[in-house]
Structure 1
Amino acid sequence: MKRVIVGLLLAALAIPAIASETWRVNSQVVSTGDSEGRLRQIAGKPDRETPIETSRGGLRGYRLEYFQQTKSVQVEIINGRVSDIKQIEN
């Protein structure tokens, strides 16, 4: 019984952050593998841009964050391409 309760609690905590391969912006879709230029053309200027560092302190890429009314979307750019999309519910 305790395992079921713990499992349900962990599942409930995991719901607010959803990783996906696509993000719908108005009538267009951004997908992993798209170029940074396409992302910026569709989604516009990000609300926040944070560098992603390697373990040795070098630049690996960028995390672009877009704030919307009910969620924020974090898009990771590695080597000029969208590598990860996370939608976080507020």
Structure 2
Amino acid sequence: MKRVIVGLFLAALALPAAASDTWRVHSQVVSTGDSEGRLRQVAGKPDRETPIETGRGGLKGYRLEYFQGGKSVQVEIIDGKVASITQLES
């Protein structure tokens, strides 16, 4: 059992990106499930906005990217809601 836990811990350390359910922006928090409007109210205008396509080429949503304090935070918007938050260290 200890080997499994240690293995999972080491695998988590090897990941370059950290996916999370929340993102602190100044004194407020954005969470998965929040609306796109709330995200933009709290975080402001994104530094980069990229469309996410379906397998057939249709529009699935958007990936909004914010650069903050030496890291990049990518927020995926699907159906007008925050679907995922990924923080990438630079």
- For normalisation by structure 1, the TM-score amounts to 0.86
Instruction: Indicate the RMSD between aligned Cα atoms, in angstroms.
Output: 1.7
Cα deviation, residue 69, structure 1: 2.1
Structure 1 residue ranges, 4+ long, deviating more than 4 angstroms after superposition: none
Identify unmatched segments of 5+ residues in structure 1: 1-6
Query: Number of paired residues?
Result: 84
Distance 1:11 1:26 in 2: 27
**Which secondary structure does the structure 2 equivalent of 1:30 belong to?**
strand
Distance 1:27 1:37 in 2: 17
Cα deviation, residue 11, structure 1: 4.2
Identify unmatched segments of 5+ residues in structure 2: 1-6
**Which secondary structure does the structure 1 equivalent of 2:88 belong to?**
strand
**Which secondary structure does the structure 2 equivalent of 1:37 belong to?**
helix
Q: Aligned residue for 1:74?
A: 74
1:3-36 Cα offsets, whole Å, 9 max, x none, are xxxx54x54431x300000000000000000000
Distance 1:65 1:74 in 2: 4
**Which secondary structure does the structure 2 equivalent of 1:46 belong to?**
coil
Q: Aligned residue for 2:30?
A: 30
The percentage of counterpart residues that share the same residue type is 77
Cα deviation, residue 68, structure 1: 1.2
